[in-house]
């Protein structure tokens, strides 16, 4: 598949590079949705083998790609690392590959910034591009619902409640802000504390609740009713 690059510099618009070689109609849909927005446009349409080279050439702000659970010439987990190595500032949104939607947390841990499920509509696509461009993590609401069903409804509620009771008010505040994707710096600015202090609070919260990463924080916050999945 040849690249179809229209060039950058479109009045400050976000440049989006598509890497969805297996689904021509899906590519066409993404292009139509993105080019229809005033603040973004598609700058390329490539197959997996040319992805890294095209990313380097176009300097795209956001890449939307299939993400296969095993390495090949598409956006596999190793390719995520390669994309970040070539252009660390580029944000990567992966899309659900056939029936592999249950690996979204692994994709995010590998370095992707967002994940769109098969159920995603036009509004989800636009929200994802804008969210990751602001440095936020985006997961389709439908995927969050699956996460709730898989992780929340089968969890030990008593243990969660006991652990939460041990948190101070400030730790609970940091937990909530961190769970919805705010960085330590953003939290520090919001509640007028130093970034190091927020780092310490966050570490304490993780230790008390026996959590390991931001996805664990998000799942915990949903389970506790601190975050409404409809607002994600």
- Spatial neighbors of 88 by CB under 8 A, at least 6 apart, are none
Give CA torsion, residues 93, 99, 103, 107, to 10 deg: -20
In a domain, 2, yes or no: no
In a domain, 113, yes or no: yes
128 and 198 fall within a common domain: no
pLDDT in tens, 171-221: 999 998 998 888 999 999 988 999 999 999 999 999 998 888 888 888 888
144 and 180 fall within a common domain: no
In a domain, 231, yes or no: no
58 and 21 fall within a common domain: yes
Q: List, in sequence order, every residue forming a beta bridge with 63; answer none if it has no partner.
A: 17, 92
57 and 141 fall within a common domain: yes
- Spatial neighbors of 194 by CB under 8 A, at least 6 apart, are 188
Separation between Cα atoms, residue 62 and residue 67, nearest integer Å: 15
94 and 132 fall within a common domain: yes
In a domain, 4, yes or no: no
What per-residue confidence (pLDDT) applies to 162? 65
Q: Which two tokens stand for residue 228?
A: 């409404």
* Mean confidence (pLDDT) of the chain: 79
Q: Which two tokens stand for residue 137?
A: 């993590």
pLDDT in tens, 120-171: 889 999 999 999 999 988 888 877 766 666 555 555 554 545 678 888 989 9
> Is this prediction's pTM over 0.85?
no
In a domain, 126, yes or no: yes
213 and 119 fall within a common domain: no
- Alpha carbon 42 to its chain centroid, in Å, reads 19
How many structural domains is the chain composed of? Answer: 2
CATH code for the domain of 191: 1.10.10.10
41 and 114 fall within a common domain: yes
Which residue range forms the structural domain that includes residue 96? 14-148
| % of the chain exceeding 90 in pLDDT | 29
In a domain, 227, yes or no: no
195 and 128 fall within a common domain: no
216 and 121 fall within a common domain: no
Q: Identify the band that residue 72 occupies on the pLDDT scale cut at 50, 70 and 90.
A: very low
Domain boundary among 148, 169, 192: 148
pLDDT in tens, 3-43: 343 344 445 899 999 988 777 888 899 999 999 999 999 99
Q: Is 1 helix (H, G, I), strand (E, B) or coil?
A: coil
CATH code for the domain of 84: 3.40.50.2300
29 and 135 fall within a common domain: yes
In a domain, 99, yes or no: yes
124 and 197 fall within a common domain: no
131 and 178 fall within a common domain: no
């Amino acid at each position: 598949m040849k690249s179809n690059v229209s060039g950058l510099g479109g009045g400050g618009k976000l440049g989006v590079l598509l890497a969805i070689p297996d689904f021509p109609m899906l590519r066409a849909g993404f292009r139509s949705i993105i080019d229809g927005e005033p603040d973004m446009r598609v700058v390329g349409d490539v197959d997996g083998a040319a992805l890294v080279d095209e990313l380097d050439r176009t300097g795209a702000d956001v890449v939307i790609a299939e993400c296969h659970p095993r390495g090949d010439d598409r956006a596999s987990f190793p390719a995520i690392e390669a994309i970040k190595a070539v252009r660390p500032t580029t944000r990567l949104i992966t899309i659900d590959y056939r029936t592999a939607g249950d690996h979204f947390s692994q994709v995010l841990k590998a370095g992707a910034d967002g994940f769109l499920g098969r159920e995603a509509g036009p509004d989800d696509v636009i929200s994802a591009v804008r969210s990751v461009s602001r440095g936020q993590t985006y997961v389709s609401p439908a995927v969050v619902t699956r996460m709730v069903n898989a992780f929340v409804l089968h969890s030990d509620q008593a243990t969660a409640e006991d652990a939460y009771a041990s948190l101070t008010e400030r730790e609970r505040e940091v937990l909530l802000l961190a769970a919805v994707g705010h960085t330590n710096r953003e939290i520090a600015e919001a509640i007028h504390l130093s970034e190091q202090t927020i780092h310490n609070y966050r570490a304490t919260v993780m230790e008390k609740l026996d959590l390991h990463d931001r996805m664990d924080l998000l799942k915990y916050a949903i389970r506790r009713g601190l975050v409404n999945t409809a607002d994600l």
